[in-house]
Amino acid sequence: MADGRLSNTIVAASWLTLLSILAVVIAFATPCWLETDGSLDHPKFVKLGLWTVCFEDFQERLRLYEMRFSGCRWVLDEEYQIIDYLVRPQFFIAVQLFFTLCFMACLLSGGLVVLAVCCMDDEREALFLRIISGVLGVAAVCGTISVITFGVLGDSRDWMPDYDHNNLSWSFGLAATGSILLYFAAILFWVEGRRENKRDGFGFGAPPVGYEPSSQV
């Protein structure tokens, strides 16, 4: 790819990678994974993302403290420590962990794609494409685990107040979309990597790179 000639597969895979990264980054940063449906006049719970939660005059259910919570804050805010058991149950910590891994793998894959398109020489191209495919695959699996876990447990009656008025929202939808696109991008890079491997001499009868025929007497 150093010569600037990109196959249609590489172009499609690169665009899919870009779209999936955008979806994952937006989902990672926005506070709309779970949201009230708007039918209540004064909902205690408003919306929640991976790192932000919004309440309106909410008091923790055990009534151990008189403090009431209003507005949007970081989930690890010091004042939220008394309701950490509610805001961050075990399943939500797992969602945060796996989607953070997905987010980091997406950023890494984006950098690798730029290197592959701009700087990679032909001799190592096949290996590099497979590395990109592997990183995208890891991101896709981590994203899928977090999305499925949140989809199953995020709207349960044992978590946020007014559970019957809470719905999965658009940030969650972007997370799911990004995770799916990551699979397609990973597959395309793997296919292209295998194709390049064959072009290098392992599938079409051409000698391997670096092979020099012996001189004949």
137 three-class SS: helix
Q: What is the pLDDT of residue 23?
A: 97
DSSP-derived 3-state class of residue 167: strand
Residue extents of the structural domains in the chain: 8-31+87-199
- Angle at the Cα of 21 (from 18 to 26), degrees rounded to 5? 125
CA atoms within 13 A on the CB side of 83: 25
Residue 118: what pLDDT?
78
Answer for the pair 165, 36: CB distance below 8 angstroms, yes or no. yes
Q: Strands (DSSP E) along the chain, which ranges?
A: 34-36, 45-48, 52-58, 69-74, 166-168
Q: How far is CA 164 from CA 37, 40, 159, 168, 209, in A?
A: 9, 11, 11, 12, 63
Place of tokens 């923790």: 60
What confidence score (pLDDT) does residue 214 get?
46
The pLDDT of residue 97 is 97
Tens-of-pLDDT digits for all 217 residues of the chain?
444 567 788 889 999 999 999 999 999 999 999 999 888 888 888 999 999 999 988 877 665 667 788 888 899 888 888 888 888 999 999 999 999 999 999 999 999 988 877 776 666 777 888 999 999 999 999 999 999 999 999 888 778 888 888 899 999 999 999 999 999 999 999 998 888 766 655 443 444 445 454 444 3
Could you please state the CATH topology (level 3) that the domain comprising 8-31+87-199 is classified under.
Butyryl-CoA Dehydrogenase, subunit A; domain 3 (1.20.140)
User: What is the rounded CA–CA span in Å between residue 51 and residue 69?
Assistant: 16
How many angstroms separate the most distant Cα atoms in the chain? Answer: 96
